[in-house]
Amino acid sequence: MIDHMFGKITLSIIKPDAVQKGYVSPILYKIVHAGFHIIAIKITELSKKSATKFYAEHKKKLFFESLVKFMSSGPIVSVILKKENAVKDFRILIGETNPVHAKKGTIRNLYATSLEKNAIHGSDSNQNAIKECLFYFSNREIFF
Ligand code: IDP
């Protein structure tokens, strides 16, 4: 079912730093204002085990342990967003991984704290978008 949305959806996470600072509302406003449709949303928390699974591709990186600790440190908001070219357009909206390099007005430029605590996640490919959406949501929770 979700496979039909290939190329049209992306998975975003408002990370624990941004939730804790009260940025959920302004971030969601910005996303919707940029033309993305919210088709699934939940406030949730990652266990260390889930965070390890979600970021498995970074397992060998030096920052991995710290990233897992951070991502499981408090509530997050997971969102599936629908738009033509969702993955690419959303990466532009959030800005570079390191907020120091994120363009002015991007979400990371406005709301990130550091390279690690960079406020928001966006899928990096259409294939990963599908995989990540199914990591957080069941088909019953997605409203195409
Ligand atoms: P992305 O989130 O922009 O796709 P990735 O390279 O996939 O960036 O890294 C995943 C997450 O890991 C980043 O969003 C950030 O929270 C964290 N991260 C990436 N590089 C570093 C680093 O060098 N030090 C600490 N944390 C990092």
Instruction: Confirm whether 67 is domain-assigned.
Output: yes
Distance CA 91, CA 122 (A): 6
Distance CA 51, CA 22 (A): 22
C-beta atoms surrounding 97 within 10 Å: 15
**Does the reported pTM lie above 0.90?**
yes
pLDDT tens-digit series, residues 82-107: 999 999 999 999 999 999 999 999 99
Instruction: Confirm whether 19 is domain-assigned.
Output: yes
The reported pLDDT for the residue numbered 6 is 98
Instruction: Confirm whether 144 is domain-assigned.
Output: no
Protein residue with least CA distance to atom 8, ligand 1: 97
The reported pLDDT for the residue numbered 84 is 98
pLDDT at 1 over 90: no
Q: How far is the CA of 24 from the centre of ligand 1 (A)?
A: 20
CATH number at residue 52: 3.30.70.141
For residue 134, give both structure tokens.
């199914």
Q: Which residues pair with residue 77 across a beta bridge? A: 14, 43
The answer to whether the CB of 133 falls within 8 A of the CB of 2 is: yes
pLDDT band at residue 108 using 50, 70 and 90 as cut-offs = very high
In whole angstroms, how far apart are CA 120 and each of 79, 110, 139?
11, 11, 23
Instruction: Confirm whether 135 is domain-assigned.
Output: yes
Structurally, the chain folds into a number of domains equal to 1
Instruction: Confirm whether 107 is domain-assigned.
Output: yes
Binding residues: 15, 63, 91, 97, 108, 118
Tell me the percentage of the chain whose pLDDT exceeds 70: 100
| Residue 124 CB less than 6 A away from ligand 1 | yes
> What are the two backbone dihedrals, phi and then psi, of residue 3, each rounded to the nearest 5 degrees?
-60, -30
Task: Provide the ipTM.
Answer: 0.99
Test site for ligand 1: of 14, 60, 97, most ligand atoms within 8 A of the Cβ:
97
